[in-house]
Amino acid sequence: MALACGGLFNTARASSPDDRRAPPVPPPTSSAPFSGVRFGGIIALSASLFPHHAPDAPIHNNEYVQSPFRPRPPSANNPLTGTPTGPPPGVSTSGSSRGGYIDPNWPFPGGPNDAPVIIYGYTPSFALAVLGVIIFALLTCIHIFQLLRHRSWYFTTFSIGLAFEIVGYIARTLSAKKNPYNLIYFIIQYFFIVTAPVFLSAGVYTILSALIHRLGRAHSLLPPKLILWIFITSDAIATVCQISGAALIGVKQKKREDPTAANNILLGGLAYQVFAIGIFIILSGVFIFRARRDIWKSGLVKFVAAFGVATLLIYLRTCFRLAETAEGLGGQLSTREVYFGVLEFAPVVLAAGLLTVWHPGRCVGANISGREKEHDEVSA
């Protein structure tokens, strides 16, 4: 639109008898569909990441141009940063294979930290992002209050995970409201939302040890301390892999390089976490089955049910992230926000909500080892 107006304005001036300047340079007349080459590269992903949501509709707006009348050459460096642009090696940007989603209602800002397409594959919902900030802020405050009140320090990591969720959804809110093209907002929300459930899982692992301590060692296949060390170590490995992978993805995106290796690191961390949680679910199931009578006598039926459902919800969310990462950024799962809402946002909110109502510090106690465990073993 701006190009057309500029052309009409200069044409009108050239037609004036008093205007003796050289005739204006005519605007480009090509009506070819938008080419990712004109934008330069999007993190080494811009060409093949996202299947276009409307491939038959040519895009004429939001083209990155060097001047009002001349499109920027494909081989030019970014005039704002001086860094090379263009697609990564082996990636085609011609025709319909260029990939990338552009919101027709959101003009491209053209800032130094802006990708030429929206990496999410959609414009994030502002309402969902704000709802996430509000809900996780409330849950974090309640969990911290109960943590301090019941002195259940073993459950501290759960509050850390909720704090990560807050940061992630704040960045997502900025993407939705301020600039969905901004790389920094995308990287922050991706890093914190992806890695937050690792800390939530660590908190869930401690609940089984607390239950064994409360109901008796005889019902468990392994001692509570051994269970704690095995799964906390596993969680630490998963945390390192996922944080490293997510951080490297951000670095690669910022440098506009191919993030495949970083994505594989994240994929490995998620796969390991899925495996660890699966083993944990088996051990927990065996323990709950063996201790079913003591659970009933102790009045812990609702808490154990909440614990089981919360564990399965976190497991569901981790399986979703594993499938999404295996597909890669730009796959079906990562470019449809409905999957994010149903399989990422909702399971974590429900799991955190259940363990807020039935907090382990209040329902089970402040300890996961000690003399009380020995007493319970004798009584059992």
pLDDT score recorded for residue 34: 36
CA-closest candidate to residue 92, choices 57, 48, 54 = 48
- Quick one: pLDDT at residue 111? 85
CA proximity to 46, closest of 105, 111, 121, 109? 121
CA distance 313 to 149: 26
pLDDT, position 217: 86
Q: Provide the 3-class DSSP secondary structure of residue 93.
A: coil
Structural domain boundaries in the chain: 198-379
Consecutive 10-residue averages of pLDDT for the chain (380 residues): 43 43 46 36 37 38 34 42 42 40 86 86 95 98 95 93 97 95 92 91 92 89 87 86 79 71 86 92 94 93 96 95 84 91 97 96 77 41
β-pair partners for 65:
71
Cα–Cα dist 136/353, whole Å: 9
pTM, full prediction: 0.70
Predicted local distance difference test score (pLDDT) of residue 253 = 66
Cα 135–chain centre separation:
17
Angle, alpha carbons 15-21-22 (nearest 5°) = 90
Phi, psi of 77 (to 5 degrees): -80, 160
Nearest-angstrom CA–CA distance, 186 and 118: 9
DSSP letter at 70?
S
pLDDT of 330: 75
* Dist. CA 361–CA 343, nearest whole Å: 28
